[in-house]
Amino acid sequence: MAFEPEDVIAYLFPHKGEGFPDAASAVGYKKNKRRFKAAERTPDSARDSQERSGGEDSIDENLIENLDGLVLLFSHGAKTGAGIVLGHSDSSDVVLRERKGVSRSHVALTFNDQNMLVARDMGSSGGTRVVYKDEKLPRVKGSEWLIQGPSIVKDQLPVLDIADKMQFKVVLPQHDVESADYIQRVARFRLGTAGPESIMGNFGISSGSSTQLPTGQQSPSAVETMFFEQVVGRGGFGTVTYAWNEHIVAFRNATFFPEPRLEIEYVPGGSLDQHNCLSTIERTQILCQLTSALEYLHNRPVRITHRDIKPQNILDSERGERGIVVKFADFGLSKESEFLQTICGMPEWLAREVLSLRRPYDESVDIWSLGLVLAWLECGLPNYELGMRRDSRAWAKEVRRHIQSHCYQTGSVLLSWVLDNMVVEDPGMRLSARECHVEAWQLMKSAEEPRYR
């Protein structure tokens, strides 16, 4: 069966290896007949093609021609506004075999606000991930992954990993994503083909309950938040690593001669010190996203401490109806070390142990600084007097008094949580980045607004 190229969202093919059996079963399942795409070559011609090209899926064209698969079309639409749902429920758009780790409504393929295809885990029992090359990350519940991987692995096809024996290679057709026709197709697709009552009934949502506010690009919950990492160069001063993480500014390129030079992405929205009137949900999103980034930095084999967290070093990548997306920038004072002693950064944003002469400190200083940023966003900070630099404890106490006073006045749940868990004088009593992210995720749920009215 021929498909109009502009109508194709993506192709799904069983991923060779352990993930092949159940994916192949889903491809051939009669309930998915509408989306079935048969292989176009005979076994002999397919084998010849593979030998010439160097492997089963070394180029997209061979994979499309050599294997049975599923085709996802704009014209097919989706049963709900969630997108094309994969799960073992008969109400799913792509019905999977009921297997260990596969939920009734497991993952949805849909588009984000930038018209990019994403995989959104629907609170499955086993989680979901997208593998871009050979990274060994866990599947994560409630996660969102871009299907299109980083440019550094453009020769690899992404793998949608649903369960141990159910993994799909994803082939994305070439589209002019800026054309009016493509944008219109995506907009129509995102509306779905069912009304709110059908949507809520399909996923067990009553009309009186609230659902999670869409947050744009979410980090993959609280387990592991780094999507992809690859060493791209080594020099006399260390190693340059390409790390693809949603809430850290992207590294573009590095040259070492005649002098070291790094190229970093341009983030158009400016820094947080240029923003005001952020909503409670936006502030909670910032907490959730940046604790995700700190979780990655602080849990590397040799942990990285940013050491200069302040509003000027947090950039607005995207802000709209779905909320805000921010990224850490300016790692000029960051340190990859287990032992830290240097006094660096703006003193009003520093934890008091950094200002203690020659006493070692650890990555928990980033938790204090990020907590102050959240407090500043909600209630500002008291004036920093020059003499306080000689008495770091005085500044810490003044900051806490200021925040506590605002908590009493407003009853802010977010600010009270920041005071109890992040802006804590004793570094040993602060939550770790991972613990912060887990609890921030819960705060997101409590701060959510109804999606359907």
CATH number (domain holding residue 176): 2.60.200.20
Q: List pLDDT tens digits, range 278-289.
A: 999 899 999 988
In the prediction, which pLDDT does 53 show?
41
Does residue 453 register a pLDDT over 60?
no
Same domain (yes/no): 270, 306: yes
Do 71 and 167 lie in one domain? The reply is yes
56 and 135 assigned to the same domain:
yes
CATH for 291: 1.10.510.10
Q: Identify which of 319, 311, 309, 310 has the alpha carbon closest to the alpha carbon of residue 285.
A: 319
Q: What is the pLDDT of residue 223?
A: 32
Residue 166 lies in a domain: yes
What's the confidence (pLDDT) of residue 241?
Answer: 54
Q: Above pLDDT 90, what percent of the chain?
A: 35
Q: What is the distance between the alpha carbons of residues 38 and 347, in angstroms, rounded to a whole number?
A: 64
| 213 or 183, higher pLDDT | 183
- pLDDT band at 54; cut points 50, 70, 90: very low
In-domain check, residue 187: yes
Whether pLDDT at 214 is above 50 = no
Report if residue 414 sits inside a domain. Answer: yes
Residue 262 has pLDDT above 80, yes or no: no
**Residue 317 lies inside a defined structural domain of this protein:** yes
16 CB contacts (<8 Å, ≥6 apart)? 56, 57
Rounded to whole angstroms, how far apart are CA atoms 119 and 162?
11
Domain-terminating residue out of 202, 236, 261: 202
Q: Is the pLDDT confidence value at 73 over 90?
A: yes
Q: Are residues 346 and 430 in the same domain?
A: yes
- Scanning the structure block, which residue is given the tokens 């780094």? 226
Is 142 found in the same domain as 248?
no
Could you tell me whether strands 261-264 and 251-255 are parallel, antiparallel, or unpaired per DSSP bridges? antiparallel
**Any residues with CB less than 8 A from the CB of 302 and at least 6 apart, and which?**
336, 337, 338
Domain that holds residue 329: 228-446
pLDDT at 205: 30
Tell whether 183 and 65 lie within a shared domain: yes
Cα–Cα distance for residue pair 39/173, rounded to 1 Å: 17
Q: Do both 233 and 195 map to the same domain?
A: no
Q: What is the mean pLDDT of the chain?
A: 77
Whole-number pLDDT of residue 244: 53
Greatest mean pLDDT among 98-102, 135-139, 447-451 lies in 98-102
Residues 166 and 248 in one domain: no
Q: Which of 148, 168, 202 is the last residue of a domain?
A: 202
Assess if residue 451 is contained within a domain.
no
Q: Do residue 172 and residue 269 come from a single domain? A: no
160 and 51 fall within a common domain: yes
Residues 96 and 145 in one domain: yes
- The answer to whether position 209 is within a domain reads no
Residue 338, pLDDT score: 57
**Last residue within a domain, chosen from 202, 236, 265:** 202
Rounded Cα distance, 364 and 431, in Å = 8
What pLDDT sits at residue 57?
A: 44
When divided into structural domains, the chain yields a total of 2
Own/partner pairs for 265-269, CB < 8 Å, 24+ apart?
A: 267/315, 267/316, 267/317, 267/327, 267/329, 268/317, 269/315, 269/316, 269/317, 269/318, 269/319
In degrees and rounded to multiples of 5, residue 397 shows phi and psi of -70, -40
Given a cut of 50, is residue 319 above it in pLDDT? yes
**Amino acid present at 425:** E
| Residue 43's pLDDT band (cuts 50, 70, 90) | low
Tokens read off for 188:
């129509």
Asked whether residue 214 is assigned to any structural domain, the reply reads no
Residues 78 and 113 grouped into a single domain = yes
- In this structure, of 312-316, 356-360, 371-375, the range with the lowest mean pLDDT score is 356-360
Identify whether 330 is part of a domain.
yes
| Nearest alpha carbon to residue 374 among 408, 349, 347, 405 | 349
Average pLDDT over residues 228-232: 55
**pLDDT(195) > 80:** no
Q: Provide the pLDDT for residue 389.
A: 65
pLDDT tier at 176 (50, 70, 90 boundaries)? confident
**pLDDT number for residue 358:** 66
* pLDDT, position 139: 85
Q: What is the mean pLDDT of residues 329-338?
A: 59
Min mean pLDDT across 24-33, 36-45, 145-154, 244-253 is at 244-253
pLDDT above 50 (res 218): no
